[in-house]
């Protein structure tokens, strides 16, 4: 049994036909993950006890002739910013290195209710802040496709485990591109659902108005299957949406996209590295050959998105990270006074990128600057959301690159925060508008580095987005 | 936009963040480059545009309310289990007010 190559539907078929049991599959997945992880450092920890308990549950259901669930027996990694009861959740931060959550995230609960087996916690940038997975207190993740390169970030570990085959699927989180960019760098499928589609309950907050949980898979089917299991209203998250969840797997049975109108935003092709550009063009040709009508469109406020995003996300981050003060969350640095204790704990505990964002966020929220930065950024966010609303009145989907360039070398951008932020230029707009978007592999450069094609649809149109992605995937 | 080391110290103070002398120096530089980039927004006229704080969808005004029924919450011992220092069912902190 080779867990690295199995898809979720193959696992389901294997379990139902008794080729293997969920416990056997889980043992093998854990063994393989443990053996292979030193190459990439994609896991922070494995959770064998929890995994085997879940697998036993799946086997019991199978033995009783019950439906074992849409994710039956699937070995899944969960980004270490998503809470798992009784299993250490570090946020890749020294501050939380011993934090054991007292409850599960809703997405985690739903994964297991659907038969999923959580085998470990994936490495990431500290508190999900970064685009290269180099900001982890537990060391960087290496891209399994090219070990001297970054896997992207912040969900670098979640993308790497799927690319490496040390998990069959995974959950990540996306605030400004943290699912799509690593999916693109590692050559896997990554999905950022509509804002509110998946409950954020138990996702450690970075920028609450922009944070999303979403899945990674080897292919579109697997990613859709994972989303199916975790999507839907949750009263524990007031921003969780009421819209009914579509049947994604049923939608994928029909991949006829003839007549679908696709928009190519001209602003997303400026500054695109040429090899990535030609792979994206080829992908667009494939979609044309499937009968899609392709037209150029404009999202005119794109050039302001990055500035707007980094004001909003740092402002929200500085507020959200205020709670790590040495009182409730495990790590404390001693001092004689309360305020000294806060300062020392945070000074010792946070890494450079978190400190930078806390400082930026504190500055933009400061009395006297609030209107000029934070309110201004929110007005610009509204213009960006309106750009999308206008575009989706004309087209069914938007097709664009994910990243201006493929995976870069470890250390290449770590000393230049602005250069690192500029890598998010094509992904942050989707988060600002809250629309569903995804990365689907569209080939590799001459050096063998994967490139992702980004597909964006209107709110709650994940089924349509998956259909288009699969139509492309199955004919490229 | 440039930040002096004094500016950085003031912001760090507001953020309850201790920074080393070396960090302050680098931070002044980093904040300067990122905030200068952010000032790009000033070239855009946003008169009459409402600030967007959140992605919102149509729903009934009371849609997020639920029945007011008792249900279990996190118990004291569980809530304290991750605390740095606790005792007598409380979080313990250093002296707050001196006599």
Q: How far is C-alpha A303 from the geometric centre of its chain's CA atoms?
A: 23
Conformational region of residue A447, where left means phi above 0, alpha means psi within -120 to 50, and beta covers everything else = alpha
Tell me, yes or no, whether B34 lies in a domain.
Answer: yes
CATH number at residue B30: 1.10.20
Q: B10: distance to nearest CA of chain A, Å? A: 10
Tell me, yes or no, whether B32 lies in a domain.
Answer: yes
Best CA proximity match to A15, nearest among A5, A30, A26, A4: A26
Residue A192's H or E segment, with its range, is strand A189-192
How would you write the pLDDT of chain A (476 residues) with one tens digit per residue? 778 899 999 999 999 999 999 999 999 999 999 999 999 999 999 999 999 999 999 999 999 999 999 999 999 999 999 999 999 999 999 999 999 999 999 999 999 999 999 999 999 999 999 999 999 999 999 999 999 999 999 999 999 999 999 999 999 999 999 999 999 999 999 999 999 999 999 999 999 999 999 999 999 999 999 999 999 999 999 999 999 999 999 999 999 999 999 999 999 998 898 999 999 999 999 999 999 999 999 999 999 999 999 999 999 999 999 999 999 999 999 899 999 999 999 999 999 999 999 999 999 999 888 999 999 999 999 999 999 999 999 999 999 999 999 999 999 999 888 888 888 999 999 999 999 999 999 999 999 999 999 999 999 999 999 999 999 999 98
> Would you list the DSSP string of A165-189?
TS-SEEEEEESSSTTHHHHHHHTSE
Q: Which of B13, B34, B68 to mutate to test the interface with A (most CBs of A within 10 A)?
A: B34
What is the CATH number that goes with domain A8-251? 3.90.1300.10
Q: State ipTM.
A: 0.95
**Residues of the domain holding B39:** 5-43
Tell me, yes or no, whether B33 lies in a domain.
Answer: yes
- Check: pTM over 0.95? Answer yes or no: yes
Question: What CA–CA distance (Å, rounded) separates A275 from A272?
Answer: 9
User: What part of B 23-82 touches A (C-beta under 8 Å)?
Assistant: 23, 27, 30-31, 33-35, 37-42, 44, 46, 49-55, 57, 59, 63-64, 66, 74, 78-79, 81-82
Total domains in the fold of chain B: 1
Contacts of B39 in chain A (CB under 8 A): 307
Tokens coding A42: 């994609």
């Amino acid at each position: 049994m080779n867990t690295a190559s199995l898809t979720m539907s193959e696992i389901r078929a294997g379990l139902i036909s008794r080729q293997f049991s969920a416990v056997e599959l889980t043992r093998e997945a854990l063994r393989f993950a443990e053996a292979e992880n030193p190459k990439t450092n994609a896991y922070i920890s494995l959770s064998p006890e929890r995994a085997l308990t879940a697998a036993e549950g799946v086997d019991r259901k199978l033995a009783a002739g019950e439906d074992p669930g849409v994710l039956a027996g699937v070995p899944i990694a969960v980004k270490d910013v998503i809470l798992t009861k009784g299993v250490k959740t570090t946020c890749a931060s020294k501050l939380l290195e011993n934090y054991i959550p007292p409850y599960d995230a809703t997405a985690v609960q739903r994964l297991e209710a659907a038969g999923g087996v959580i085998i470990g916690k994936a490495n990431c940038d500290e508190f999900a802040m970064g685009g290269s997975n180099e900001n982890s207190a537990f060391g960087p993740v290496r891209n399994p496709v090219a070990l001297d390169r970054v896997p992207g970030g912040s969900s670098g570990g979640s993308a790497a485990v799927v690319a490496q085959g040390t998990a069959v699927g995974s959950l990540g989180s996306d605030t400004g591109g943290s699912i799509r960019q690593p999916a693109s760098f590692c050559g896997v499928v990554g999905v950022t659902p509509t804002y509110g589609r998946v409950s954020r309950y138990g996702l450690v907050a970075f920028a609450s108005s922009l944070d999303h949980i979403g899945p990674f898979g080897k292919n579109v089917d697997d990613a859709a299957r994972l989303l199916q299991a975790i999507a839907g209203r949750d009263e524990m998250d007031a921003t969780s949406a009421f819209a009914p969840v579509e049947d994604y797997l049923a939608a994928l049975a029909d991949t006829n996209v003839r007549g679908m109108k696709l928009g190519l935003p001209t602003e997303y092709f400026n500054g695109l590295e040429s090899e990535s550009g030609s792979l994206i063009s080829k992908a667009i040709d494939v979609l044309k050959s499937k009968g899609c009508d392709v037209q150029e469109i404009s999202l005119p406020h794109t050039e302001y998105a990055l500035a707007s995003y980094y004001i909003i996300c740092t402002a929200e981050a500085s507020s959200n990270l205020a709670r790590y003060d040495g009182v409730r969350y495990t790590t404390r640095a001693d001092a004689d006074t309360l305020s000294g204790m806060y300062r020392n704990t945070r000074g010792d505990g946070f890494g450079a990128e978190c400190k930078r964002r806390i400082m930026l966020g504190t500055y933009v929220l400061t009395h006297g600057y609030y209107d000029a930065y934070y309110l201004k950024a929110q007005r610009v966010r509204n213009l960006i959301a309106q750009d999308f609303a206008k575009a989706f009145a004309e087209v069914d989907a938007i097709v664009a690159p994910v990243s201006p360039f493929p995976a870069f070398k470890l250390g290449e951008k770590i000393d230049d925060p602005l250069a690192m932020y500029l890598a998010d230029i094509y992904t942050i707009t989707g988060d600002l508008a809250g629309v569903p978007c995804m990365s689907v592999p569209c080939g590799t450069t001459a050096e063998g580095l994967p490139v992702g094609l980004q597909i964006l649809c209107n709110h709650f149109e994940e089924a349509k987005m998956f259909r288009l992605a699969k139509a492309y995937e199955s004919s490229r | 936009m440039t930040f002096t080391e004094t500016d950085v110290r003031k912001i760090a103070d507001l953020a309850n963040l201790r920074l080393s002398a070396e960090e302050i120096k680098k931070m002044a530089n980093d904040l300067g480059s990122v905030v200068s980039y952010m000032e790009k927004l000033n070239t855009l006229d946003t008169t009459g545009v409402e600030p967007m704080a959140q992605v919102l969808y149509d729903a009934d005004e009371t849609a997020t309310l639920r029945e007011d029924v008792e249900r279990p919450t996190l118990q004291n011992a569980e809530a304290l289990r991750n605390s740095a220092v606790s005792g007598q069912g409380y979080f313990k902190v250093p002296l707050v007010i001196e006599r």
